[in-house]
A and B are shown apart, each in its own frame.
Chain A
């Protein structure tokens, strides 16, 4: 791919053909405030925050401007400052200000932009604060949708359309009343939503937040335990508990995407009904046993059934190494080819 050179704030930057000015700047480590841009999605230019000045063209949004050879870009000027400040102030006055009680506190893009632009309380006073309080959609067991914290960037809408392809949500109503809505503005579980949580993973503010998830202390790269796609993921662990799962962006299988089971279906791991000790059935009831007791009994009993009166079912849920060992056990120790698993089921 062709590389181009342009100047941003006097710094010479290399970019690839087809990149936007915003992407070129971010890749070069130059911050331009932005809210509706997401690297996985097509640019739409609805937040109007990523303004830059391009020599010979004036002020424009950087997310929809492709880089050109020799382009000269400025990210700061009195005009940019004024236009951007007003846009940010309008977002802030329409936003619930209870940051400390928001799950996105500290990781919020709106906070990041407000810090960058520098909000002056006196200037905010001249604007009428919003009083609207819309109901939170808590119908989905895995995440909440809070329209009061939404900035209408549309990242969730585009994620559902471009990445997931379910198209469960879109903008609805007009002007001040605009919200992100399901068809007929019904609770999300009554829509086409597949609960994959891709929108939740990309929401820049606190409008879409997981319900039970807590921040992990560490992460371990793994593979999903459910279907045969084998999505790469990170298990987020706190203590001895899996508290969060996120897709592995570097996996060629799923490119960071997950479905509802992969992202939210990990509750079985530390489930109280897990088997914790060997069990031996005595008089029709299971009795707890030690490993030696159980394995001695199994070995003693199986010794009497070598050959074709024995059969084993190995597991499509176990690892290659475990499957190899059980077929080796069946063939080499028990002396039979009676081994199968549920591949056909």
Chain B
């Protein structure tokens, strides 16, 4: 997200699912296993390819299901994205295949980009990416032919120490091709959780208030100080990985965790445990006694989505309304009521401010407060959402919402090319840990598994975490398909059953993180992207050995 803010002045999926699926002449999917992580968008891509002949270029270290349909599969090494993207741009520029009109009218910084990618020829980068130069050239030419081309990415791009730069490189490529502000194009990050976009929009981030109003901005600070009747700091807070590090060192002493399970989802789980155990006081509000809730001092039972009313914002910025279908079990309470009750207990005197209080009658009234303080949600009201919802920015009550961003103009004026250089992942394979581990999800499970592992049918279809190993490595290491292996990194080790498969490439093993008992995140590294602070889940070094 920080990457797209730098390039365009706004960080979110630029286009809509419908216009991509119906209008793109081509797709470039990089770092997204779309058919397994975002299955219905995956269906849309397959439909476009099979039914109306759209082109598909996939860049992924693994042979993900989409590669079966791809015109070209660029099977680059984990962590070599920038080298690959720069090589594609090198070809587009040297062969003059880029959109000169778009670059001239809508962008700045082209000369710097041209200079920066000049050395990234397909030949020079082949040692880094492992992709044959001819294939890179072919892919670049195809991209130039297939316009509008929609670029889709997910955590395969962002979960690296260079995640921020990876995103910049994606934005550079699409500006070079002139694929912004048009139906069927765009830079489209696919968001993982049902309301991850909304949690970001709502200021669930240490450096932003709602709608990406900067904590560091004096104007924003004064606005929220007046609204809430309090004094606010101007220094951004800590990100999740930093919080846990600070907790381990005793500087963070109390935490409140709402509906998250860092004991399974966060990198280097052993370090997460040490952090949470060191806290003086931990509150967890959730629907199940998750691995994280077990460590809490107080656990508060919230409700499931089917039991609440409110709004969610999907990956294409669409704000959608949900209504309760069933009533919650036992004494479980609406999450918004719990937070309000607690706030009232802690805030004995209500400060002076239009929105200082905590007496809401309904989630609809909370949305009115959000709209008043958030320009991009200014026109969002529950009663306006209907069957289709509204896509932000929606600044006022008459605004119909914005299906495509950056039509005619970027929020920052001109789109900015920010050249980026390839850097290797934080951890490199060596003699002791010779393989690269990359992580992800599978179709049948979801995130930390606290929901899907309670659905018997899904467990029947995918009962346990497996480690994907390439046959070449399996042969060398004496690993049999279905055999139990121990996977170790510098941070810990887990055992799981091996699946010997050509989905992965030699030197690369893949694990899911759904299963706490074979938790991939015991192994992963908490090395962070210095700008976006995203951990490097997609590459760390491991050793693998059969367990007798």
Tell me the A residues contacting B by CB distance below 8 Å: 140-142, 161-166, 189, 194-196, 212, 220-232, 235, 237, 240-242, 248, 250-254, 257-262, 264-271, 273-281, 286, 289, 291, 294-299, 301-305, 308-345
- In the bound complex, CA of A265 to CA of B313 (Å): 21
- Stretch in contact with the other chain, from B97-105, B167-175, B364-372: B364-372
- Asked if B387 contacts A250 (CB within 8 A), the reply is yes
- Asked if B47 contacts A163 (CB within 8 A), the reply is yes
Number of contacting residues on B, CB 8 A? 151
- Asked if A265 contacts B301 (CB within 8 A), the reply is no
B411 within 8 A of A: no
Report A-chain residues with C-beta under 8 Å of the C-beta of B229: 332
Report A-chain residues with C-beta under 8 Å of the C-beta of B41: 229
Report A-chain residues with C-beta under 8 Å of the C-beta of B198: 316, 319-320, 323
- In the bound complex, CA of A306 to CA of B40 (Å): 44
Report A-chain residues with C-beta under 8 Å of the C-beta of B215: 337
- In the bound complex, CA of A241 to CA of B312 (Å): 22
Q: From B255, B305, B456, name the one whose CB has the most chain A CB atoms within 10 angstroms.
A: B305
- Asked if A317 contacts B259 (CB within 8 A), the reply is yes
- Asked if B304 contacts A305 (CB within 8 A), the reply is no
Known: A162-B51, A228-B38, A240-B326. A260 touches B197 (CB 8 A): no
- Asked if A333 contacts B347 (CB within 8 A), the reply is yes
- Asked if B451 contacts A265 (CB within 8 A), the reply is yes
- Asked if A165 contacts B17 (CB within 8 A), the reply is no
Report B-chain residues with C-beta under 8 Å of the C-beta of A310: 252-256
Chain B nearest CB from A228 CB (Å) reads: 3
- Asked if B535 contacts A324 (CB within 8 A), the reply is no
- Asked if B319 contacts A320 (CB within 8 A), the reply is yes
Chain B nearest CB from A330 CB (Å) reads: 8
Report A-chain residues with C-beta under 8 Å of the C-beta of B313: 230, 320
Ranked 7 nearest A-B pairs via Cβ: A276-B330, A165-B46, A230-B314, A319-B310, A337-B237, A315-B259, A259-B39
Report B-chain residues with C-beta under 8 Å of the C-beta of A312: 255-258
Which B385-413 residues sit within 8 Å CB-CB of chain A? 387-388
- Asked if A228 contacts B196 (CB within 8 A), the reply is yes
B49 within 8 A of A: yes
- In the bound complex, CA of A291 to CA of B320 (Å): 31
Known: A224-B194, A261-B444, A344-B239. A231 touches B40 (CB 8 A): yes
Q: From B18, B235, B312, B336, name the one whose CB has the most chain A CB atoms within 10 angstroms.
A: B312
- Asked if A297 contacts B298 (CB within 8 A), the reply is yes
- Stretch in contact with the other chain, from B136-144, B205-213, B481-489: B205-213
- Asked if B202 contacts A320 (CB within 8 A), the reply is yes
- Asked if B194 contacts A313 (CB within 8 A), the reply is no
Contact among B210, B253, B324, B366 with A309 in the assembled complex (CB-CB below 8 Å): B253
B430 within 8 A of A: no
Known: A189-B461, A332-B230, A340-B206. A305 touches B238 (CB 8 A): no
Chain B nearest CB from A193 CB (Å) reads: 10
B342 within 8 A of A: yes
Known: A226-B194, A230-B320, A338-B206. A162 touches B47 (CB 8 A): yes
Report B-chain residues with C-beta under 8 Å of the C-beta of A270: 326, 329
Report A-chain residues with C-beta under 8 Å of the C-beta of B340: 325
- In the bound complex, CA of A110 to CA of B370 (Å): 53
Report A-chain residues with C-beta under 8 Å of the C-beta of B108: none
Report B-chain residues with C-beta under 8 Å of the C-beta of A164: 43, 46
19 pairs, CB–CB < 8 Å, chain A vs chain B: A164-B43, A165-B47, A227-B194, A232-B320, A254-B40, A269-B326, A281-B298, A295-B341, A305-B254, A312-B257, A315-B258, A319-B310, A324-B369, A326-B204, A328-B228, A332-B229, A337-B206, A337-B233, A343-B204
- In the bound complex, CA of A281 to CA of B281 (Å): 11
- In the bound complex, CA of A235 to CA of B201 (Å): 27
- Stretch in contact with the other chain, from B116-124, B282-290, B419-427: B282-290
B192 within 8 A of A: yes
- In the bound complex, CA of A259 to CA of B41 (Å): 10
Known: A340-B243, A344-B158. A291 touches B331 (CB 8 A): yes
Chain A nearest CB from B45 CB (Å) reads: 8
- Asked if A279 contacts B299 (CB within 8 A), the reply is yes
B199 within 8 A of A: yes
